[in-house]
């Protein structure tokens, strides 16, 4: 971890490890499936299955990475300002 001097790091703002592991697992398994479909025959319907598998894998992995790092992307939604009054 990077030394931050006298400041305490905000551990609640770190990424969710489970979601990052799931994204990595989906990306690896989907990549292997896409490579298998591409390897069978490039000019048959298997190549479209490989492309479709690669697209779905990429989209799922991207969504999981965004969900895991949501604290960084949407920081304004996760804290309450003391001067803010409702109503």
pLDDT of residue 48: 80
Please give the model's pTM, rounded to 2 decimal places: 0.67
Cα dihedral across residues 47, 48, 49, 53: positive or negative: positive
Average pLDDT of the chain is 77
Residue 52 backbone phi and psi in degrees, to 5: -60, -40
Per DSSP, the residues of the chain read ----TTPPP-GGGSPPHHHHHHHHHHHHHHHHHHHHHHHH-TTSHHHHHHHHHHHHHHHHHHHHHHHHTHHHHTGGGS---TT----
- The band of 64, judged by pLDDT with boundaries at 50, 70 and 90, is very high
Separation CA 34–CA 26 (nearest Å) = 12
pLDDT tens digits along 23-52: 999 999 999 998 888 877 666 665 688 888
pLDDT of residue 16: 82
Separation CA 14–CA 47 (nearest Å) = 39
């Amino acid at each position: 971890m990077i030394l931050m001097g006298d400041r305490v790091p905000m551990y609640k703002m770190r990424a969710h490890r489970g979601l990052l592991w799931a994204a990595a697992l989906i990306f690896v398994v989907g990549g292997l499936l896409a490579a298998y479909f591409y390897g069978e025959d490039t000019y048959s319907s298997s190549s479209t299955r490989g492309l479709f598998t690669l697209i779905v894998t990429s989209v799922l992995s991207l969504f999981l990475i965004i969900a895991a790092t949501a604290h960084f992307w949407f920081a304004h939604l996760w804290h309450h300002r003391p001067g803010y009054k409702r109503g």
